[in-house]
Amino acid sequence: MVPAVHTERLVLRAWRPEDQAAFAALNTDPEVVEYLAGPLDRAASDALVSAYGAHWAAEGFGMWAVEVPGVAAFVGSVGLRRVPAGLPFTPAVEVAWRLARRSWGHGYATEAARAALTFGFDTADLDEVVSFTTVGNARSRGVMERLGMTRDADGDFEHPQLADGDPLRPHVLYRQPRATWQR
């Protein structure tokens, strides 16, 4: 079971079937996927939602659907996930977010990610959570910094799933140990 988490303005909740179309739409928005490996077609987007469910079942934490009560039933996804093997800092758990463009600039990513980190430390008993993005993704780096995460410049890396020369390949790594987490 996926527990709901309520913040001042948001509900982080289990995925509903009706979320999938909106998630698929945001996964094709060029601005949303600008710093990702590219857009996802509907089948790949739906598969990602299925993977989120499997992650929750296996780990007891994962990616929530995010809603803004009274404003929008679905604005994106925020949560925690195991980082796939093969990155230089694994094993690790990542806090991640992907919100619809219309929801940017309202502080939702930071508010939801803060709730996810609190869940990770208090409920999932994690010792550390990381976050990473391509060097040029100033918006996501800003979220990491507003969360109080610390950049680990020695941990910056070239993403192995991206080709040499790809401008998205250089990545920055941020860390948040439980010991220094401030809600």
* Domains of the chain with CATH codes: 5-180 (3.40.630.30)
Distance spanning both ends of the chain, measured CA to CA: 25
Provide the sign of the torsion angle of the four alpha carbons 48, 49, 52, 57, taken in this order. negative
Mean pLDDT of 79-92: 95
Element containing residue 54 per DSSP (H, E): helix 42-59
- For residue range 95-139, what is the model confidence (pLDDT) as tens digits? 999 999 999 999 999 999 999 999 999 999 999 999 999 999 999
Q: State CA 103 to chain mean position distance.
A: 15
Looking at residue 37, its pLDDT comes to 81
Instruction: Tell me: pLDDT of 43 over 80.
Output: yes
Q: What is the pTM of this model?
A: 0.96
